[in-house]
Amino acid sequence: MWQISSYSLIPIAIVVVAIPLMPMLAQNNRFSHLNLALGFDRATAIVMGYTGGSYSLSSIVNQDRHGNPCIGYGDPEPDHSMVLENDFPRLTIQIDSGGKDTTLIVRGPERQNIRCGFAHNESRDAVVDDINWQAGTYEIWVGSMKPNQNSPYRLSVRQ
């Protein structure tokens, strides 16, 4: 006759609880990152994600180093990280969400050199286009103009 102890039920309980959470875990973008060196291939400088969240991104910073406002709603933690292996004279980070109203915050090494972007035209997709990017790790938040707006996006970087 089979005997089941309470200890053998623990792995089953973990699986039963974890399976419904898997779609939410798959949408967690905090682990999507880019590693870029000079001359990188644009095809490798793309990550995907979802906007969403009710955290006011202006809580991170009100304006960037150029005086641009940092606005929108997203998650309190960054959605992506980007490691620049070299200094870059110019980079453009662009969101393609199919016309949703997106925003961007990019915080540079040692939490300095903050850059913010939002849509300035009909496309409604955020862009950060700037010069003098120092080597190091950058944190990237992708937000939306309305809280809890869950929209898929594609983030791309070009030199």
Residue ranges and CATH numbers for the domains of the chain are: 6-158 (2.60.120.380)
Counting Cβ atoms within 10 Å, is residue 100 exposed (0-12), middle (13-18) or buried (19+)? buried
pLDDT in tens, the chain (159 residues): 556 555 554 444 444 444 444 444 444 446 589 999 999 999 999 999 999 899 999 999 999 999 999 999 999 999 999 999 999 999 999 999 998 899 999 999 988 899 999 876 667 899 999 999 999 999 999 999 999 999 999 999 999
Classify each residue of 31-65 as buried b or exposed e, where b means 16 or more C-beta atoms within 10 Å of its C-beta: ebbbebeeebeeeebebebbbbbebebbebeeebe
Is the pTM above the cut of 0.85? no
